[in-house]
Amino acid sequence: MSRVLAADTMPIRSEGDIVGVRQLVRQHGAAAELSLVEQTKLVTAASELARNTLLHGGGGKVEVESVEEDRRRTIRLSFIDSGPGIEDVELALTDGYTTAGGLGLGLGGTRRLAGEFEIDSVPGEGTTVTVRFHTRVRG
Amino acid sequence: MGEQQRHSGAEVASFLLEREAEIIDSWRRLPFFDSGDGDQAQVERDCGAVVRALAEAVRTGDEDDPAAAPFNSLRGLFMELAGRRTRFGDSASEVAVEAGRLKGPVVRLWKSAGGHRGVEQTALLVDALGTLRVAVMEIAVSTSAELIQQQQEQLLELSTPVISLWRGILAVPLIGTLDSARSQIAMESLLQAIVDQRAEVAILDITGVSMVDTMVAQHLLKTVMAARMMGAECIISGIRPQIAQTMVQLGIDLEEVTTRAGLADALAFALTKIGYQVTAPTGAIGR
Amino acid sequence: MNALPLLRIGDVLLVSIQTELHDELALRFQRELAEKVADEHIRGVIIDISALEIVDSFLGRVLHDIAATTSVLAARTVVVGMRPAVAITLVELGLSLHGLRTALNVEAGLRQLGIRRLDVSGEAR
């Protein structure tokens, strides 16, 4: 039995939106009573992925959803763009790999922060990166 | 579900609903329904809910599916009853045995009621009561697992004390088996204590740790790196020879980590680090 | 207008980041700080990030670049007040910030820059 506690969608079109995504995701994390460290990881992951969507995907949107099932809460973030896509996903996940002149920690680093990490990319069509953070509901 | 079975199901369902009052009367004193507050009206309401769910299950042909809607509707009630018992130390199987006691009175009532009681109908009723027991067992197992987890977490927090050794120096002595969860908690409490006590040096003493695996070694390393980013130095002391060997074999690079043989050496290093001079009084050397 | 208010104490600059920076603002801050260090013969920079709830790889890189740039300009930068949760997250992210000087708080940062006390006039000694 799962229950959706909250669901939001937000466009990512500018750098200001990255800050907006952080704030939205922080609200979800606080409502799900994530520990401080988990919350920090969640918001940091959101920030990294939102910037990826903007810089590599040419903008897009994020879906944020908090779900409760079997005394466990899950926050799902999906970053969706219709940009050029990623040719070699494994390579893109390697630390230090960068096409935008950054540190190249965006994807690989985010994978280490999240409980679950999925990437779905079709060259020429776009990329969807989904991360999930889990927390147990305190009895 | 065949026509015949649907017919039997309806028959058993109407038996249960017609005799609800008698069934409740035979159940009300069973320990299974004891919610601990002596509220008899509540016990009767709970019994009634179980009777109606059983009737619904045989009517819809769900008598052998503990996850089906009729049994699912009892989840909240079972969680309350089973949860109470597991908190008092009853095992999941003990709770299931008590749930099994619901069967006897109902079957007796069914047989004594006279008329033609077909084998198929009796089987349906017995199935439904058996499934009820399975549903209770499942919930009891998951609540006791949860309870164990909670107790483990509490124990974890108790087992990682942060000790202030000197102004600006703190220590976390770790004892026993370090697993990933425990080293995570040790890491978080150490780093928080660094901020709270404005400690410039923190000592992670692992003299009492019997074994270190890759995950734990990584956690230790991450603690040192995180402390450094916050502006504090983290020393690891008491790495026993076997553990040092394991760490080398695991390919863990301790190059950048300050290590000391024992807590005393670590404290001496820490004191020097914050500007004290550690010297032995004259004549004490070599003692 | 400055991206962030810079407080000058003697030949030390103190910056306290109080709000979440978006990327462009962080880069402007980096530029302005470098100019100020060069123009005003600054010897040390203290960046207080104790109010920040997150530091992502972008801001981490900006902090790292500030330290490297000021070092070329013969000044030292100390980042102070990083929260434990932020530090843990940065380590997980894989950002080690090698070579970055850090301290627990502003006082400890000043000590690291070799400043023991501040005169009433604000002159650092």
CATH number of the domain to which A13 belongs: 3.30.565.10
Do the Cβ atoms of C99 and C76 come closer than 8 Å? no
Looking at the structure of chain A, the number of domains it has is: 1
**Phi, psi dihedral angles at A101 (to 5 degrees):** 75, 20
Q: What angle do the packed helices B20-27 and B3-18 form, to 10 degrees?
A: 70
- Residue B35: the pLDDT is 73
User: Has residue A52 got a pLDDT over 80?
Assistant: yes
Average pLDDT over residues A33-60: 93
d(CA B27, CA C18): 65
Q: Kindly state whether residues B222 and B263 are assigned to the same domain.
A: yes
Q: Give SS3 for C122.
A: coil
User: Has residue A71 got a pLDDT over 80?
Assistant: no
pLDDT tens, residue by residue, C89-108: 999 998 878 889 999 999 99
User: Does B200 contact C104 at a Cβ distance shorter than 8 Å?
Assistant: yes
Looking at the structure of chain B, the number of domains it has is: 2
β-pair partners for A73: A68, A135
Token readout for A29 is: 């994390």
Structural domain of B269: 163-273
Q: Kindly state whether residues B247 and B124 are assigned to the same domain.
A: no
Interface of A with C (CB under 8 A): 15-16, 18-19, 22, 26, 36-37, 39-41, 43-44, 47-48, 51, 95, 102-103, 105-106, 108-110, 112-113
Q: Kindly state whether residues B65 and B168 are assigned to the same domain.
A: no
- B154 reaches A (C-beta below 8 A): no
User: Does B225 contact C91 at a Cβ distance shorter than 8 Å?
Assistant: yes
- Residue A139: the pLDDT is 44
User: Residue B232: which of B203, B259, B205, B272 has the closest Cα?
Assistant: B203
Q: Kindly state whether residues B123 and B180 are assigned to the same domain.
A: no
- Residue C6: the pLDDT is 86
What is the b/e burial string over B143-169, where b = at least 16 CB atoms within 10 angstroms of the residue's CB?
bbebeeeeeeeeebeeebebeebeebb
Predicted ipTM of the assembly: 0.89
Q: Does residue B157 lie in a domain region?
A: no
| Contacts with B72 from chain A: Cβ below 8 Å | 1
- C-alpha Rg value of chain A to the nearest Å: 15
Residue A96 — pLDDT band, cuts 50, 70, 90?
low
User: Has residue B287 got a pLDDT over 50?
Assistant: no
- Residue C125: the pLDDT is 47
When mean pLDDT is compared across A18-32, B195-209, B218-232, B250-264, the lowest value belongs to: B250-264
Do the Cβ atoms of A73 and A134 come closer than 8 Å? yes
- Listed in sequence order, the DSSP H helices in C1-125 are 23-39, 57-72, 84-93, 106-112
Q: Kindly state whether residues B8 and B141 are assigned to the same domain.
A: yes
- Dihedral sign (CA B92, B95, B99, B104): positive
Residue A94 — pLDDT band, cuts 50, 70, 90?
confident
Average pLDDT over residues C48-59: 94
Chains that touch A (3 or more CB pairs under 8 A): B, C
Question: Which carries the bigger pLDDT value, residue B282 or residue A115?
Answer: A115
User: Does A18 contact C22 at a Cβ distance shorter than 8 Å?
Assistant: yes
- B196 reaches A (C-beta below 8 A): no
**Phi, psi dihedral angles at C101 (to 5 degrees):** -80, 135
pLDDT tens, residue by residue, B41-68: 888 888 888 888 888 888 888 888 888 8
**A38: nearest CA partner in chain B:** B188
Q: Kindly state whether residues B81 and B101 are assigned to the same domain.
A: yes
Which of A1, A37, A139 is opposite residue B146, by nearest beta carbon?
A139
| Residues contacting B63, CB < 8 A, separation 6+ | B9, B57, B124, B127, B128, B131
Q: Which CATH architecture has domain C6-112?
A: 2-Layer Sandwich (3.30)
Q: Give SS3 for B240.
A: coil
Angle at C25 between CA C21 and CA C26, to 5 degrees: 70
User: Does B146 contact A1 at a Cβ distance shorter than 8 Å?
Assistant: no
User: Does A105 contact C53 at a Cβ distance shorter than 8 Å?
Assistant: no
Structural domain of A73: 2-136
Name the pairing type of β-strands B258-260 and B233-237: parallel
Complete DSSP assignment for C48-83: E-TT-S---HHHHHHHHHHHHHHHHTT-EEEEE---
d(CA B24, CA A120): 56
| Contacts with B198 from chain C: Cβ below 8 Å | 104-105, 108
- B188 reaches A (C-beta below 8 A): yes
User: Residue C84: which of B119, B196, B79, B205 has the closest Cα?
Assistant: B196
d(CA B270, CA B276): 9
User: Residue A49: which of A40, A39, A58, A62 has the closest Cα?
Assistant: A62
pLDDT tens, residue by residue, B189-223: 999 999 999 999 999 999 988 888 888 888 888 99
- Residue with structure tokens 């009573």? A33
User: Does B229 contact C87 at a Cβ distance shorter than 8 Å?
Assistant: yes
| Residues contacting B19, CB < 8 A, separation 6+ | B109, B113
- Mean pLDDT, chain B, integer: 84
**Maximum CA extent, chain A:** 47
| Residues contacting A76, CB < 8 A, separation 6+ | A63, A64, A65, A66, A67, A130, A131, A132
- C61 reaches A (C-beta below 8 A): yes
H/E segment holding residue B191: helix B180-196
Q: Does residue B156 lie in a domain region?
A: no
| Residues contacting B54, CB < 8 A, separation 6+ | B16, B70, B128, B129, B132
Q: Kindly state whether residues B180 and B143 are assigned to the same domain.
A: no
d(CA B202, CA B169): 6
Most confident of B202-206, C2-6, C115-119: B202-206
Q: Order the strands of the A72-81 sheet from edge to edge.
A: A2-12, A60-69, A72-81, A126-136, A116-122
| Contacts with A37 from chain B: Cβ below 8 Å | 188
- Residue C15: the pLDDT is 94
Average pLDDT over residues B137-162: 76
Do the Cβ atoms of B234 and B193 come closer than 8 Å? no
Q: Does residue B281 lie in a domain region?
A: no
